Every structure is written in C-alpha cells, then in structure tokens.
Chain A
Amino acid sequence: MSLAFLYPLAWLGALAVAVPIWLHLRRRHETSLVRFSALQFLDDQPLARKRPLWPRDWPLLLLRLLALMLLVAAFTWPYLRGRAEHAGIEESWVYILDNTLSNQAEGAFQKARDDLVREVSAAGPERQVAVVELAAMPRVLAGFGDDRAEAVDRLRALKPSFQRGSYLAAFRAADSLLRQSVVANKRIILVGDSQENQWAEAGQVLPFLENVEITLPEVAQASRPNVALAQPSVQRLFLDDRTIAECTARLFHQGDQKAATVVFCAGDKEVARREVKLAGQPESITVSAQWETDPARWLQGEVRLEGQQDALGADDRVVFALAPVREGRVALLARSPFLQAALSPDVMKGRWATRVLRAPEPRTLNPEEEVLCLESHFLQAAPARSLVQSCLSSGKGVVLVVDQAGPTVAGFLRELGIEGASEAERGFRVQGSGFGQEGRSPDSLVPERRTLPLRLDRAPRVPALPLGRFRQSRGNRSPAPPPADAPGQRAWCLGGHAAGVLGRGRPAGDRVGRGQGQGVRPGVFDGPHGDQLAHPSDVYPFSRPLPGSGPGANQRADCLRARREHRLAGCAGPPGE
C-alpha cells in the first residue's frame, strides 16, 4: 500500500506557509499598557518598537504551518494505492447486466450472463471490473475490489428475474462505483436488450455521468413480434333481472403482427372471443366482453391470446376472479321522497332489496332484514330509538342519515357512545343542510368529502363513519351522479350530508352489495369466503374502490351505471346531460 495524490499540483499551495512566517517576522512587539498610580516617580523612556528577526512564538508558528500543510494535503486528495499487482490499472469498466423481464425472451439473459462471465474472467490486470445487476432495483453484484473468481461465481449463480427496472437507476449505481475509481479511463457497458420504455424515468434527473464512456448494445430487430395482455378487470352489472359480467383487459403489441385473437373464458367455458386488428392501431388496445352470469357464484376465468407464437409467451394470459354477491335486505324509515326513490328496489337492484317502513315500531323488522336505514329525526320518537336499540342488540346494521338533530337525537347518540363534536354539539346542523325542505336548499353543490363530526368515546361499535359525495341541484333537486372525473371516490350520498353506520349486521356468508372485481393472481379466491368478503364498509350504501384498483379502471362503467340508475329511478339526469 502506498500513498498517492490525485491532484499533485495542489502542493503548490504549500507556498502559502510563507504567510504565517512573514506574519510572525513582521509583527511588532506590542508593549503592554499598565494603568499605574505612582507614575510621578517614573521617567519617560521612549522605547524603540523593533521588528523581531526571529519568530518569538514558535508553538504558534508551528501550529499555523501544520494547519496550512494539512489543508493543502487535503486539496491534493490523497488516497492509498493498492498492492503492487493493482498498480498498473489503466481502465475501470462497470457492466450492467439486464435481468428484467424483457431480457428473458429466448434465453437472452442466460446468453448475456454467460458472455459476461467469459468477459470478466478474461479481463486483464490493467482493467478493473464491476458488475451491476438490474432487476427491480439495481444491485452491485461485484465491486472493483472484489475477487474475480468470486465475482464470476456470483454471476453464474444469478437466476432470471421477471421484474421491471430502470436503466437510469442502474447507470446511477454504476456511476457511483466509478466515482471511487481514480483511473481516468472509465466505461459503463450495458448488457441487455436496451428497451426504450426502460429508459424512461419519472421526474427530472440531473445529469450525472461525467468523463464516462457508455457502451450500449445494438438493438437487433425482434425476430418475432410480441403481443401481451395486462390489467384485467371484471365487474357485475345488474340490468333488470339479469346480471352481466363485464371483463376488460389491455392488449399491448409490438412488432409487425397484423391481428390477434383474444379469448375470454369463465370457468372452463369460453364465453367470448375477439378478433383484434393490430395493424395501424396504437400499442395499447382495450378489449372487453360481457356475458350473463350468476351473481351467487364465484366468477373465475382468464383472458388469453390464441394462436400466437410471439417472443414472450408468459404475457399471453391473464386471469380474473370475482366473489359472489347477494342482495342485502334493508328496512328504510324515511320521509324524504328523494331518499325513498334513491333507495328504491329499482335503483338499488343487485345491492339492496329495500322495504319502506311506514312508522317505527319495535317489531317491524323482518328476520331476514339485515340493515335498518333511517333519518335522524325519527330518533325523536321513542319507538324509533327502541327499534335502533333492538337492531343493534341483535347484530343488525343501522344506517343513520343525519340531516338535523336536536338535543333528543344527540342525547340518544351519546347514550350509544357517539359524542357530538363541533357541529354535532351545535345540533348537527351541518352547513348546507336542509335537503328536502322548502326554502332550505343549499346554495351550491357540495362536492367535497367531509368527515362526519362525530367521535367515539368507547368501544368501536361504529366500524366506519364515511361520508359520501353529495350533490344537489337547485332546480330540480334530483340526486345526480358524481362527475365522470371524480377520482377514486365514486360513492355519493343520497338525501343527507352526513351519515353514519351505527352498527352492522355481518352477512352470513356472501357479500352484500355490488360486486366488483379486479385482476388477481390465480389462487387468491380459493374459498367461498375469501379475504375480501364482509368488509364493514360493504353495508354502507356507497361502494368504494377496493385497494389496488386504479382511479380510472372502472370509471367509464361507473358513469354508465349511474346514468342507468337515474333512468330507472325516474329522475332527471344531472344538469347538462
């Protein structure tokens, strides 16, 4: 090991040591001032102020010189050179081995790996080699200081990965390796298929490669085109007495393929087949199919490409699954005609089978009814409160639509363990309330999502307190569907600003409400009561997107469904429709 300097010319800065020496020699010896009381007994003796010819304060001078020398030494960037056999290194190469899914086609990865093993083994002592593996994230497989044999062993032990990674991230990792190298000749070699989409990276990145040569592979024209399926989505639509399953998938194509055949299978049966022309079409095409299905059964199937012999066979098939659903039984206690219309069986078909109650009585709920939905002002009557109590005690759900609440309602909620806060303490008078009352209509749309001003002070008898989207027009006061660009929250509230689920009746088995599926890996829904069943929010009249589904995945279908529902309810459409 020997010490070397990256910038030896910086040693010229050592000339600066002349400065403290000059200062020490130039500094006059300052006589001290003594304030004295008996000056009358002293004669004045003018003292010559001479410059010293020799430094007086040697420790201080040496300390200053040492500090300067250390500063200069730091600027020369000293480093320890390696052993004698590494002294002759002339170039530093970093290989980036593409181990992403795209490079697995036709054994490209194995071939690249074997080539790289040979190249690393054959590299001479004048070249130091490092390897970065690119899978989902770049990983330094072998650094400059690692033993060659170990690096080769690690390379041979690499398994193909089916992930997607960014080339730029790998180049950053390689660049950080090269920054540790003091050799002038630096190079990064990409071993992969250099797909264009893997070069794209979100966000602005600063240029980071400097004095580094880049070697990219020559992208050979694909010998065979590739067609891939992705993003499957399935959902149920309830039309009249029929239940329609609607399945969509995205089809990506690359190359000169003219057409593709997409087959939709539900269970073991083929339910639809689509011939898709690819020539002249964009790279991404949405294919869809609809077929009638039984909502009480699991819907499982796949979408596959038929008769394709493309470059990558693994992406020619996607699968989907959808849990069974059944209608929930709901008893509705509401005076608002809008709420009755909105929750009528025609509108809520497939989700709720609503029975409208005329008056609150303790035994008015049928045994099969699972949820009681009522307006809050009914709670002023003792029978309604006892009805709610009996529902909660028997494990049934209660959906309370809070419009206005007086002290009686607030006190009842407090007995249930729900304490009114802020607006609630002021009588639940939410700003913009008064739906269904003459002259009390809100001035404008209230499209934003609000938090119900309630808080719990004991055991969570309330599993969820969501607030739906509320929309009301001044002219016809008809409930309107949410805007088509509503992000994610497609739920909307009919007839109130705030609603809370006071309790819930857990469904016996199947899911209550509208079914909604997404593309999943096979085997997720193995049993009839999978992990997506009986979610607490399912008893709520609003559907919310399940985790993982993108905001735009089912947007169009939702919009269509909402329009259908309005027509069924006999209401006018939203303004401008």
Chain B
Amino acid sequence: MAAVRRSTSLVSQFDPNVLKALSGLDLKARYLVEGFLLGIHESPFHGLSVEFSEYRDYQPGDDLRHLDWRLYARLDRLYVKQYTQETNVRVYILCDASASMAYRGRDAWGSKLDAARTVAAAMCLMMLDQNDAVGLLAMSEEGAGAEFIRPSQKPSQFGTILQHLEHLKPAGGTQLAALLDHAIRLVHRRSIILFFSDFLEPAESIATALAHLRFLGHECLIFHVLDRDETEFPFGDDAVFEDLETGLRRSVAPPAVRERYLRRFGAFMEKHREQFRALEMPYCPIRTDKEPWEALAMFLSERKRLL
C-alpha cells in the first residue's frame, strides 16, 4: 500500500475563508480535492487499474497492441501481456442530517452539516474520477423516509449527489439507528460506507446496527463531525442554552459547568470510539474550524488498503 504522505504545506493551503466564500457545494468539493491533491507527493491512483498480471502465448486474434515486443526481440517468441481486471468499488455515503448537525460555532467555517457534506462531496468527486460507483443514503427528518441514490459511476452521478446533499436540511432528533437500519436493508454487495455524523446519540443505540453492517462484510469509515464549542465548551457569559433537537432550555453558567461538561462529553465519545475500535472501523474526527484534509487522507489510505 502506498503510503499517503502529506506535505507540511498542505495545512497552509487551507483557508476557511475561501471555503466560506464558495457558495456551491461543487466548488467546495473541488477546492478540497484539488488542494489535497496538490499537497500529496505520491499519487494513490498510480497503477491501480493497469496492474500487470502475467504473460501468455499469443493466439491468433489477440490484440497486437498487447504484444510484448521486447520479449519477442529477446526470445523470438510472441507473448501477450495480461493485466489484472479493473475492480469497481461501491461506496455509500451515509449522512446524518439531524437538527444537531445544524450547529455552527463562532470559529467554524460552516455548520457540522456543511462540513459533512463538503467532505462527502469531495470524496464523491475523487471516487467518480476513479470510476468507482458512489451512492447516497441520508435521512433528515423522522418519519420522512430515507433519501437513497443508487451507486453509479456515471459522471452525472456527482451532480445528482450534490443536489441531494445541498437539499439536506437539518431537522429532527435521534435518527442514527434508523439510518443504519436503512443501510442494512439497502446495501447488499460488499461496499464501503462513509458514515458522517456527530454521534450525539448513545453508543448503545447504534451498536447493533454497526455490528450488523460489519457482519455483512461492509467496510465502514466513521467521520465524526464536531464543533469546537462542543469539544472545548469555550462559553463565558451566563446564557440560556436551547437544545437544537428537542427545544429544551437550560440556564447555564458556563465557567461553573465546563469541567463537568467536558468530562461527560469525553466519556460519551470515548464509548463511541471504543465501539468503533471493536468493530475495526476507521475513525476520523472532523472539526468545523479546522482543515478537512485528515478525513481525505484517511479515506484514501483505507481505500488503498482495501484494494
């Protein structure tokens, strides 16, 4: 597996303001992909689909382009080069669009949902460039049903997925388990599943569904989208906090509760991480105030490993 090495200049190439200014998801995705590809030295795509396999004797009717002329000059025998057959991978993007994904901190370049769909679109673009099939599964509102796009490797698939990603509106409450259930029923062939969520639901609620996916042989890549306000709780003044999903309000003096909050939050997320480790699911945190290169790098390294 070719190692993906990131140059030191990669981080400096990322400008959150540029990402803010880019209006379309298409532009954001291309900005991410091109910026990322500029920063890596070794292309992960080199030789993926033109891998040499073996020689065989020439048979009348074979394409002369595949003759190894050098071997013929040396051995005076006709051999035809054979290559490994190109393999198409099916990739599903699972995007959580609950109301909590609408949160956007003061330092963020976008909401959590913005970050998720931008990174997802960038990955979609990269996959389609490699002739892989990409599909989408998302569910924004409870009871509204899932939005499912069958995997396809047509170039127009990128536009279709972008359109659905852009129309995703954060709404509703707990839905991760339902989303995973839909994935279990809809994804049959062995596939790669890119799971974007903030995982603000108990780990127990999705444990069964994740295990089921692994049992079916799918590779799950977890992209945990979080905001700096959630991980560091940097609030200072007294405020009334309102829950995005339930509308519940609580009066909070942040300095007094920060320590307890961080402890609870860390423990909660640790449960999730343990579960992902147990199921051998690669885990990648995405912060809305930082560059999303890590997510892309992890995805590509996993992609190489799986192939």
List residues of chain A with CB under 8 Å of any chain B CB.
Answer: 31-47
Contact = CB atoms under 8 A, between A and B. Distances in A.
A47 B265 contact: no
B148 interface: no
Interface in B206-244: 227, 229-230, 235, 237-244
A37 B103 contact: yes
A47 B253 contact: yes
Interface residues of B, number: 35
Nearest to B248: A39
Interface stretch (B181-189, B255-263, B299-307): B255-263
A43 B238 contact: no
B251 A41 contact: no
B258 to A, nearest CB: 10
B264 interface: yes
A42 B100 CA distance: 15
A39 B242 contact: yes
B257 A43 contact: yes
A492 B229 CA distance: 96
Contacts of A40: 200, 243
Given A32-B239, A33-B242, A35-B242, A41 B268 contact: yes
24 contacts: A31-B239, A32-B239, A32-B240, A33-B239, A34-B239, A35-B242, A35-B244, A37-B103, A37-B112, A37-B200, A37-B244, A37-B245, A38-B100, A39-B242, A40-B243, A42-B250, A42-B252, A42-B257, A43-B257, A43-B260, A45-B250, A45-B253, A46-B251, A47-B238
A47 B242 contact: no
A43 B241 CA distance: 10
Please list the 10 inter-chain residue pairs (A to B) with the smallest Cβ-Cβ separation, ordered nearest first: A39-B243, A37-B100, A37-B103, A44-B250, A41-B264, A36-B241, A47-B251, A34-B239, A32-B239, A38-B230
A31 B261 CA distance: 20
B242 A32 contact: no
A41 B268 CA distance: 9
Contact of A32 (B200, B237, B246, B253): B237
Contact of A31 (B227, B230, B251): B251
Interface in B8-24: none
Contacts of B198: 37
A42 B259 CA distance: 10
Contacts of B246: 39
Interface of B: 99-103, 112, 198, 200, 227, 229-230, 235, 237-246, 248-253, 256-257, 260-261, 264-265, 268
B113 to A, nearest CB: 11
Nearest to A36: B241
A51 to B, nearest CB: 15
A42 B241 contact: yes
A37 B250 contact: no
A46 B241 CA distance: 12
B250 A43 contact: yes
B244 A36 contact: yes
Given A34-B242, A37-B227, A45 B252 contact: yes
Nearest to B111: A37
A33, A39, A45, A47: most-surrounded residue (chain B CB, <10 A):
A39
Contacts, number: 81
A32 B102 CA distance: 19
Contact of A45 (B103, B200, B243, B256): B256
Contacts of B241: 33-36, 39, 42
B257 A37 contact: no
Nearest to B265: A41
Given A38-B265, A41-B264, A33 B240 contact: yes
Given A32-B240, A37-B103, A37-B198, 18 more contacts: A31-B238, A33-B240, A33-B249, A34-B239, A35-B242, A36-B229, A36-B243, A37-B100, A37-B230, A38-B200, A39-B242, A41-B265, A41-B268, A42-B241, A42-B250, A42-B252, A42-B261, A44-B250
Contacts of B100: 37-38
Nearest to A39: B243
A41 B261 contact: yes
A3 to B, nearest CB: 46
A39 B250 CA distance: 8
B229, B230, B252, B257: most-surrounded residue (chain A CB, <10 A):
B252
A31, A38, A39, A46: most-surrounded residue (chain B CB, <10 A):
A38
B253 to A, nearest CB: 6
Contacts of B230: 37-38
B118 to A, nearest CB: 18
A424 B46 CA distance: 91
Contacts of A36: 103, 229, 241-244
B286 to A, nearest CB: 15
B272 to A, nearest CB: 13
A32, A34, A36, A40: most-surrounded residue (chain B CB, <10 A):
A36
A45 B261 CA distance: 13
B239 to A, nearest CB: 5
B200, B227, B240: most-surrounded residue (chain A CB, <10 A):
B240
Contacts of B242: 33-36, 39
Contacts of B112: 37
A144 to B, nearest CB: 62
A46 to B, nearest CB: 6
Contacts of A44: 250-252
Contacts of B261: 38, 41-42
A565 B81 CA distance: 131
Contacts of B227: 37
A249 B274 CA distance: 124
A29 to B, nearest CB: 8
A32, A35, A45: most-surrounded residue (chain B CB, <10 A):
A35
B240 A45 contact: no
Contacts of B101: 37
Given A39-B248, A42-B257, A34 B240 contact: yes
B198, B243, B265, B268: most-surrounded residue (chain A CB, <10 A):
B243
Nearest to A30: B240
Contacts of B240: 31-34
A354 to B, nearest CB: 90
